[in-house]
Amino acid sequence: MYLHGTSRINSRGHLEIGGCDAVQLAADFGTPLYVYDEQLIRDNCRAYVEAFQQSGFAFQVAYASKAFCTMAMCKLVEEEGLSLDVVSGGELYTALKAGYPASRIHFHGNNKSPEELEMALDAGIGCFVADNFYELELLNHLAKERGKTAAILLRITPGVEAHTHEYISTGQQDSKFGFDLLSGQALQAIRNSLQAEALELLGVHCHIGSQIFETDGFVAAVGHIADFLLEVTQATGFTAKVVNLGGGYGIRYVEGDTPRRPEEYVKAITEAVRREFGSRNIPFPELWIEPGRSIVGESGTTLYTVGSVKEIPGVRKYVAVDGGMTDNLRPALYQAKYEAALANRMNEQSGELVSIAGKCCESGDMLIWDVALPPVRPGDILAVPCTGAYGYAMANNYNRIVRPAVVFVKDGSAELIVKRETLDDLIRLDRIPNRIQLQR
Ligand code: LLP
């Protein structure tokens, strides 16, 4: 198993994260447990910020909180000087309740409800990333009602779709998000925004994909945006103050994953903007980005306790843990791959290939199909690294399994940032109507 950040093997042969013995963490907080390496989150934030500082561009790095959103995380991001991207009233509420400054919040989403828009306007958030014509009208109306002006970016689909290793130019993009370039909708949205009295158009936004290793997709997107903004200036006289290039920067889940470092993505983007905007004589905009996974993904490790071990001779050995698709939906949903190790026996030779099963009533609830581990026994502590992004964020109560606790570890101290759910939490919102009570 690859050791990220402050993870190491301590003198007892145990996994240690943030100076804390993982076996002790499991004993103290129970399992499953999400353990976050706080220093690594901070280092990742700083890597993006420092790279932009060196570039000379005005910038904002907005953490995409969908990857992992809790009140403590919002505060940490604030401390590191990052802005915050939210995509729902729930994420917005979490940030505001944590005391995160509203003026640094960007609100995304393809179907923000009137209530969500009102909440964001009343809080005075920094920017709305407007996604469609319906939202432009609704937001203009709600802002006008309040005597306010809403700052907006328009989300456009630049005709670039990037995946881990390659990107494709899709031309007219079939996506539920944003204004399409080729059909002319994006230009129409610019005109509508400029005419709307309660909207202040700052610029444009695009997001080309997720878990991207190469930089060429971002570079291509910058070219498409520069073409579009030139057309916009010629047609309307508008000059964009802000260009937001979204998130999607990759991380290393397993051997063979080859993400770039934050500074390489930032360098590729800023150089492309210098080149593409410069050659068209478009003034340099402020650059915003929205990394989510690459801020928290490698920082999170899930600890499980091994329970039943079932061997089908000549076929497979199933090692079942006390969590599964309830705390990590990604393998079941995306066939996502993970590594693992026994946190209590890190130095033992890996002897056999086993499969890690979750405890849900669902055959597809497999966390890892093939992983080499020392002979596994019930009671062992299994560590699965790289679960920090879209793990807790997508956790659920299937089979009425409680969601795990979350701890931040740093310099030998572990702080609970989300308590483990209790059985009472599971029934807290349940009601039994009178008519289905037993009639006496
Ligand atoms: N900005 C926008 C507009 C986005 O849609 C996303 C992710 C991000 C930023 C952050 O992207 P990141 O840097 O985290 O790749 N549940 C999936 C990932 C869905 C990503 C959706 N949008 C997963 O577990 O892989």
Q: What is the pLDDT of residue 318?
A: 98
What is the rounded CA–CA span in Å between residue 125 and residue 109? Answer: 15
Residue 282 in contact with residue 370, Cβ under 8 Å? no
Q: Whose CA is nearest to atom 6 of ligand 1?
A: 247
182 pLDDT more than 90: no
Residue 222 in contact with residue 245, Cβ under 8 Å? yes
Q: Is the CB of 83 under 6 A from ligand 1?
A: no
CA 272 to chain centre: 25
| Residues forming a β-bridge with 413 | 410
Angstrom CA distances, 129 to 54, 111, 367, stand at 27, 11, 35
Query: Is domain 8-30+299-427 classified as CATH 2.40.37.10?
Result: yes
pLDDT category at 168 given cuts 50, 70, 90 is confident
Domain range annotation of the chain: 8-30+299-427, 38-293
What is the rounded CA–CA span in Å between residue 413 and residue 214? Answer: 36
> Active site includes 361?
yes
The b/e string for 131-157 (b: 16+ C-beta within 10 A; e otherwise) is bbeebbebbbebbeeeeeebbbbbbbb
pLDDT category at 196 given cuts 50, 70, 90 is very high
Instruction: Give the residue ranges of DSSP H helices in 286-413.
Output: 293-296, 330-334
pLDDT in tens, 250-261: 999 999 999 999
Ligand 1 closest atom vs CA 292: 14
Q: How far is the CA of 357 from the centre of ligand 1 (A)?
A: 26
169 pLDDT more than 90: no
pLDDT in tens, 376-410: 999 999 999 999 999 999 999 999 999 999 999 99
Q: Which helix (H) or strand (E) holds 15?
A: strand 15-17
Q: How far is the CA of 303 from the centre of ligand 1 (A)?
A: 24
Q: Is the CB of 291 under 6 A from ligand 1?
A: yes
Token pair listed for 175: 């996506």
pLDDT category at 439 given cuts 50, 70, 90 is low
Round the average pLDDT of the chain to a whole number and report it: 96
Q: Is the CB of 390 under 6 A from ligand 1?
A: yes
Return the residue matching tokens 């903004």.
229
pLDDT category at 171 given cuts 50, 70, 90 is low
pLDDT in tens, 55-114: 999 999 999 999 999 999 999 999 999 999 999 999 999 999 999 999 999 999 999 999
Q: Which whole number is the average pLDDT over 2-19?
A: 98
End-to-end CA distance of the chain: 61
pLDDT category at 351 given cuts 50, 70, 90 is confident
What is the rounded CA–CA span in Å between residue 64 and residue 310? Answer: 40
> Options 1.10.510.10, 3.40.50.300, 3.20.20.10, 3.30.70.1350; which CATH number does 38-293 get?
3.20.20.10
| Residues forming a β-bridge with 20 | 17
Ligand 1 mutation target, pool 293, 298, 330, 387, most atoms within 8 A of CB:
293
Q: Whose CA is nearest to atom 17 of ligand 1?
A: 390
Amino acid at 375: P
Q: Is the pTM of this model over 0.75?
A: yes
Q: How far is the CA of 291 from the centre of ligand 1 (A)?
A: 8
What is the rounded CA–CA span in Å between residue 248 and residue 69? Answer: 17
Percent of the chain having pLDDT more than 70? 99
Residue 118, helix vs strand vs coil: helix
Ligand 1 closest atom vs CA 329: 24
Q: Whose CA is nearest to atom 23 of ligand 1?
A: 390
Q: Is the CB of 244 under 6 A from ligand 1?
A: no
Token pair listed for 382: 């299994």
| Count of all residues that appear for the chain in the document | 440
What is the rounded CA–CA span in Å between residue 392 and residue 388? Answer: 7
What is the rounded CA–CA span in Å between residue 439 and residue 389? Answer: 49
Ligand 1 closest atom vs CA 155: 3
Q: Is the CB of 205 under 6 A from ligand 1?
A: no
Return the residue matching tokens 């190491």.
8
Q: Is the CB of 158 under 6 A from ligand 1?
A: no
Return the residue matching tokens 């943030």.
18
> Which parts of 348-428 are beta strand (E)?
352-357, 366-373, 381-385, 405-410, 413-418
Q: How far is the CA of 349 from the centre of ligand 1 (A)?
A: 37
Nearest C-alpha neighbor of 283 from the set 247, 243, 244, 245: 243
pLDDT in tens, 141-164: 999 999 999 999 999 998 888 888
Percent of the chain having pLDDT more than 90? 93
What is the rounded CA–CA span in Å between residue 303 and residue 350? Answer: 18
Q: How far is the CA of 247 from the centre of ligand 1 (A)?
A: 6
246 pLDDT more than 70: yes
pLDDT in tens, 262-305: 999 999 999 999 999 999 999 999 999 999 999 999 999 999 99
Residue 77 in contact with residue 100, Cβ under 8 Å? yes
Q: What is the pLDDT of residue 437?
A: 81
Q: Is the CB of 240 under 6 A from ligand 1?
A: no
Q: How far is the CA of 163 from the centre of ligand 1 (A)?
A: 12
